[in-house]
Amino acid sequence: MSQPHTPPHLDADPWADLRAYTAARLALGRAGASLPTAEVLRFGLAHAQARDAVHIALDTAALQAELAADGFDTLLAHSAAPDRAAYLARPDLGRRLADDSAARLGNHATTNGCDLLLVIADGLSSLAVARNARALVTEIRRGLPAGWTLGPVVIASQARVALADEIGQTLGARLVAMLIGERPGLSWPDSLGAYLTWAPQPGRSDAQRNCISNIRPEGLGYVEAARRLWWLCAEARRLGLTGVALKDNSDSALPGADTPPALPAADGQAQDQQ
């Protein structure tokens, strides 16, 4: 039986085995001085998917219906950016509530507020929200510690991260977590990020937030993301802050964290033990 061989015009990439461990665009190979045609086509597809993730509008009605079916109270909000074109060209508008949204949310403010307010926002990838937000919110609610209160879930359109500051202040939240579509990459267009801010109010800087990134089934799973978020919430309430002064040491709370991981035995050692 003849052995498969590489055509003479294609050069095998010695790093190709690494592709089994990551979705990053590496070990693409080459054909002469260029990429193989298959990789050029994959790049074009990835670029198109990234553009779609940015430009396709979030179906807020569908998401609201899904969350309502799961028993969540929801509110809708819109930034001061009237459309996608304005949102992309004027980031400052995406950080402020539209006047009618500010008034509507103000009508739902309560005296006691809540401990944690979840805001779901389209950001730069509505695809990430459509695929991941519902499952993540469900896991966050499942991990709700005793004595903590959750506010209604706010679904925000044309939103930047800082929009959660104004929403959180309006609804009297002591902590706000913005679950937002991250800027798409060329390996995956559907990563969700969670930005946590203590005592939200307009004017907070990014240095005053903690971020949990790459939330999706192929990245950081929903259960682990929710666990990290609640660990950060507990520390934020204990210290009265979030941001660069709050380090994510949530791994230290895992069972067996004090035990160094065992190294795999070398082949010779394994044979000796057998």
Confidence grade of residue 258 (pLDDT, cut at 50, 70, 90): low
**CB crowding 149-188: b at 16 or more within 10 Å, else e:** ebbbbbbbbbbbbbbbbbbbbbbbbbbbbbbbbbebbeeb
Instruction: At 44, list the tokens.
Output: 């074009």
Range from 8-12, 119-123, 269-273 carrying the lowest mean pLDDT = 269-273
pLDDT tens profile 107-125: 999 888 999 999 999 999 9
pLDDT tens profile 198-255: 999 999 999 999 999 999 999 999 999 999 999 999 999 999 999 999 998 888 776 6
Instruction: At 231, list the tokens.
Output: 């660990």
**Does residue 128 contact residue 216 with C-beta atoms inside 8 Å?**
yes
Range from 16-25, 102-111, 163-172 carrying the lowest mean pLDDT = 16-25
pLDDT computed for residue 186 by the predictor: 82
- Those residues whose C-beta lies under 8 Å from the C-beta of residue 165, and which sit 6 or more positions away, are 95, 176, 197, 200, 201, 202, 203, 204
Confidence grade of residue 269 (pLDDT, cut at 50, 70, 90): very low
Average pLDDT score over residue span 124-148: 96
Predicted TM-score (pTM) of this structure: 0.84
pLDDT computed for residue 271 by the predictor: 38
Identity of the amino acid at 143: G
Average pLDDT score over residue span 131-140: 97
Average pLDDT score over residue span 42-48: 91
**Does residue 22 contact residue 11 with C-beta atoms inside 8 Å?**
no
Range from 20-24, 78-82, 101-105 carrying the lowest mean pLDDT = 20-24
End-to-end CA distance of the chain: 37
pLDDT higher than 60, residue 262: no
pLDDT tens profile 94-104: 999 999 999 99
pLDDT computed for residue 266 by the predictor: 45
